[in-house]
Structure formats: structure tokens, C-alpha cells
Amino acid sequence: MTDVAGNGQRPVWLLSDFAGVLGRHQSQRDQQQMAAVAKADFDAFWEAYWAERQAYDAGETSGVEYWQRVVASTDATYAPSLVTTLDRLDVESWLRPDEETLRVTEELMKAGTRLAVLSNAPLSLAAALHALPWLGAFEQVICSSEIRAAKPDPDCYLKAVDLLETTVDEVTFIDDREVNVVGAQALGIRSVLFFDAAQLRRDLLS
């Protein structure tokens, strides 16, 4: 699904997904810890976590509502303190940088490309992303819960482009999920399906 070849063409704006691109995905240890804290079956907990996530990322449900629904779908017992703990662990689990990818984005910035993030992130994670010092080179960190639309909803990309005060033809979007890349491509946005930093360097810097 990469429609950007290694042809030396530099994007005016690089609009990057966060998790799985700039930051690492949750580790197995993180996931095990969260299910253990909830005293829930691992598979049931994570099935509910992802089943409810799109609405949470889009700002359609609050953190309390989201975690209540996740817990209700398992054999866990709901408690306000559990929600607080799960939310904290969830946010922390997403904040590990991918140093190799960040080096590529730094090279792009030095070559004149402007950087921005477009992340499916609920409000609590969005607040943490805005505060990350290692995203300091990114002029904007756009989070789905704050614009009330989550990838691959077309409104998510269009609102992001508007916030950048640019047009779709000046944006190159990268994401590690094919459905999100396809969604951006449908709007005429040059898009790259991300696999690793080496591939991204070949596609955008060679």
C-alpha cells in the first residue's frame, strides 16, 4: 500500500501516526499487568478493550464510561480506583519512543519537511502526548478525541489538514495500519504503510 517510492520527493508536511510508528505498541508485559490489575481473564479483557476503543478514541465516551464497559465485559469487579489505575497504566503503556523512526523524522525536518502527529488517542493519552519532550519537533500533535473523529473516518484526516492550514496534496501520511492508510488515500493524501524505520527512510529520503 505504499504509494510513495524512493524518488527523492520530500513532503511539505509529514503527518505521522503515533503508536506503532513514532512510539512502540504496548508490550505483552503491559497487557498482562493491566488484565492482572483488573483480575480479569486476559483474552476477555483485551477483546473488550479493543471492541470499545474506537468510540473512546473519537471522544464519544468518557474514560469512566470506557473502562466501565471494558470491566463489565469481563469477570472483573468495577471500582472507581480500578478505573484510575487502568487509565494510568494504559497511558504509560503507549509512551515508549521508537528511536530509529524518530531519527528518520529528524532527517526529514532538516531537509525542510514540517512534522505533525495524527493519533487515535483518548483525552488522557492525548494530554500525555502533548507533554512528551521527544515530540518537540512536531509542530502539531492532533489527537482524535480532541477533534471528535478517529481514523479511518474521513473527517479525522480532513480536520487534521485544516489544522495544519494546508491542502491534501501537501501532506504525506504514514501509519502502520492498512485501513488507516487506505482511508487517507481515498481523500487524495499521499500515504505510506509503515513497516519500519529503514523502509520509511527508503520511501521518503532516498
Contact 22, 135 (CB under 8 A): yes
Specify whether the CB–CB gap between 156 and 147 falls below 8 A. Answer: yes
Confidence of residue 9 (pLDDT cuts 50, 70, 90): low
Average pLDDT over residues 71-78: 90
C-alpha cell at 125: 493519552
The Cα 128–Cα 20 span in angstroms is: 16
pLDDT reported for residue 178: 98
- Segment 92-106 shows an average pLDDT of 98
Residue 135 and residue 99 in contact, taking contact as beta carbons nearer than 8 Å: no
Beta bridge partners of 171: 13
pLDDT range class, residue 85, cuts 50, 70, 90: very high
Cβ atoms of 151 and 53 closer than 8 Å: no
List, in order of start, the domains of the chain with CATH numbers: 13-24+96-205 (3.40.50.1000), 28-93 (no CATH)
Flag whether pLDDT at 1 surpasses 50.
no
140-143 β-sheet, strand order: 140-143, 114-119, 13-16, 171-175, 190-193
- Mean pLDDT computed over 99-109: 97
Task: Tell me the whole-structure pTM to 2 decimals.
Answer: 0.93
> Quick one: pLDDT at residue 6?
39
